[in-house]
Amino acid sequence: MLSGCPIKKLSQVHQGDRYCKKFMTYDHLVAMLYTIFNRCTSIREVTTGLMACETKLNHLRISYSVRRSTLSDANTRRDSQIFESIYYWLYKRYHKVLPDSQSKKWTSKLYLMDSTTITLFQEILKGAGTRAFNGKRKGGIKAHTLMKADEDVPQLMKLTPSACADTSFMKEIDLPKGSILTFDKGYNNYKLLKKWNSQGVSWVSRVRKAAILELLEERALTENQTSQGVRSDRWAILGHNHHKPTKLKVRVITFFDKERNREFKFLTNNTVLSALTISNIYKRRWQIETLFKRIKQNYPLRNFLGDTENAIRIQIWCALIADLLLKVIQKQLKKHWSFTNLASMIRLHLMTYINLWRFLNHPEKTLHKAQYAPPSLFPT
């Protein structure tokens, strides 16, 4: 699946292979993917693992085993933007495989925005929150993420120190007309919300406690909406008391969640979708939380191979590349696999000569016939 990726060209843009004789960007990527899939927690694990499989590296187009010092130097020196470019190239190539054909109409237009913090045990990046009892503050990196709901992988991601505000990521968002964006109430830049209004982008969020709302007339509700938990749907003016106030005409929807026994208030600029649909759209926002949970549970993002910012960024981008490849494989397989089981099978059979594609579709049959893999691990 990496065979068609122009890794060498992407590396030349950032001069990633400059002054390198053996350990090129492609070799670095393979070593990091081995780290991710096998959940290695140290450079020694990576190098000794690859050394044990030295006779099986030819089908990956690697002719030697990397040394610890070489891998450590590469994580420090080679620009992490190279791996970021590789991720976006792979996403651009495979994103059409990811959507579910049975999804709802509005799901294909729905985008989810949120952030998650990856805690670092050293103060490499500026941390957020309260200090520990010893007076020290841990480092942390925040992953600001935009995801299309029917793809379930990041479409856009920006890595910043964890102290960086979520609203800074809103400036990076550029969506086509007719899109629907849902996000948490922490994203409260009214100027950008007004800009999205003019661009024809619908957005759904929750009402902040500090928000200033001038409630206007009620909108009619159907019996189905009230029975499903919608309590009210009203027009309102959203704004604040600054010298140059930015005010928006919005809908305020009050929804009672029977399962949680809790009331929610949603904000949206969409005038067409029903109040119940708006509530369901915000409920889909939790899908991005499952994305963060999936990445943190299946890939080694607690122990990093380097203690520099560049090394940390490289490992995170390689984890995203591995996650994207697994999602593409999962979508194209005839046999249904849960993501966790699929990741486990990849890890167990990563360096065997078995045809992994055939094995994942017909496990028992493939093992019984002992069919061997072609030169590429995943045939194109």
Q: Could you read off the pLDDT of 87-139 as tens digits, one per residue?
A: 999 999 999 888 876 666 778 899 999 999 988 866 666 665 555 555 555 67
| Contact between residue 286 and residue 103 where contact means Cβ atoms under 8 Å apart | no
SS3 216: strand
What is the model's pLDDT at position 132? 52
What is the model's pLDDT at position 380? 44
What is the model's pLDDT at position 248? 87
| Phi (first) and psi of residue 156, to 5 degrees | -145, 135
- Could you give the residue ranges of the DSSP H alpha helices within 199-254? 223-228
Q: Please state at what angle helix 309-332 crosses helix 286-298, rounded to 10 degrees.
A: 110
Sheet holding 230-239, edge to edge: 154-161, 139-148, 110-120, 180-183, 202-206, 262-268, 248-257, 230-239, 212-218
Q: Could you read off the pLDDT of 350-376 as tens digits, one per residue?
A: 887 777 888 888 887 776 665 454 444
Q: Quote the distance between the C-alpha of residue 222 and its chain's center.
A: 37
Q: Rounded to an integer, what distance in angstroms lies between the CA atom of residue 121 and that of residue 307?
A: 10
Sign of CA dihedral 307, 310, 311, 312: positive
What is the model's pLDDT at position 189? 86
CA distances to 15, 18, 307 from 315, rounded to whole Å, are: 19, 21, 11
What is the model's pLDDT at position 120? 80
- The whole-number mean pLDDT for each consecutive block of 10 residues of the chain, a chain of 380 residues, reads 77 85 90 93 92 80 84 93 95 89 75 91 62 60 94 94 89 93 89 91 90 85 90 86 72 91 92 92 92 90 88 95 94 89 88 82 71 47
Find the distance separating the first CA and the last CA of the chain, reported in whole Å: 6
Pick from 86, 84, 104: which is nearest to 94 by CA? 86
Determine how many CB atoms are found less than 10 A away from the CB of residue 53.
Answer: 16
The pTM score is 0.87
What is the model's pLDDT at position 357? 84
Q: Where are the domains of the chain?
A: 199-273, 340-380
Structural tokens at position 130:
């309260």
Pick from 230, 303, 283: which is nearest to 107 by CA? 283
DSSP for 96-124, written as a single string? GGSS-TTS-TGGGGEEEEEEEEEEESSSS
